[in-house]
Amino acid sequence: MKNLTKMTRAIAALVMIALAAASASAVNPLEALKGVVNEVTSTDKFEVSSLEGTWTYESPAISFRSDNALSAAGGMAAASTIESKIAPYYSTLGLNTAKFVFDKDGNFTLTIKSVTLKGTVTKDNDEGSLTFNFQASGAIKLGKVSAQAKKSALGSLTLTFDATRVMSVVTKVAQFSGISTLQTLSSLLSNYDGLFAGARFAKSK
């Protein structure tokens, strides 16, 4: 009973924080609440085989590395604000067209606009750490990229990467696509310590 009460209070606190962040950053309150439900029902304990299927871009995703519950709650508010700020840049760069297709063995195809990248993904531990091993593809050679991953009971997959690494990847994709104006996005992401940036994906039915 005590554990249930603590969980209820924690969820209530997260809801209040999310709504406050939504109010401060013009985020749709329903989207903010959806973000809370995603966070509460998300887990990093899953097998690579469970990724099998097609996952399409849903929204930007921001996370902070912290084991402190209070910091995590505050991080959710900050994340919501940052996500609303970077969403337009994702659209400009075409990142909102991103689509992953995984098979049960961890082979994947990532499509962003007219760019298609292939490779394999492995799970490094039981705490949501994944490694994407990209195959060399013309001018784009990404090699291995580490990500933090969570799956939600709502059918959502969140992938976030070290912000510095994100800018490296985005820059390469942008150059290949003929887009070079990334200074504003880079500045936004570099303003925060311990920030991980990426995207939230919804599984196609």
Ranking 4-13, 82-91, 145-154, 164-173 by mean pLDDT, the lowest is 4-13
> Is the Cβ–Cβ distance between 73 and 17 less than 8 Å?
yes
pLDDT tens sequence across 64-116: 775 444 355 556 667 778 888 888 888 888 889 999 999 999 999 999 888 88
> Is the Cβ–Cβ distance between 47 and 106 less than 8 Å?
no
Any idea which residue has 């509460």 for tokens? 40
Structure confidence at residue 22 as a pLDDT band (50, 70, 90): very low
H/E stretch holding 6: helix 2-25
Burial 29-48 (b: 16+ CB within 10 A, else e): eeebebbbbbbeebebeeeb
H/E stretch holding 205: none
Give the CATH architecture of domain 2-203.
Beta Barrel (2.40)
Domain positions in the chain are 2-203
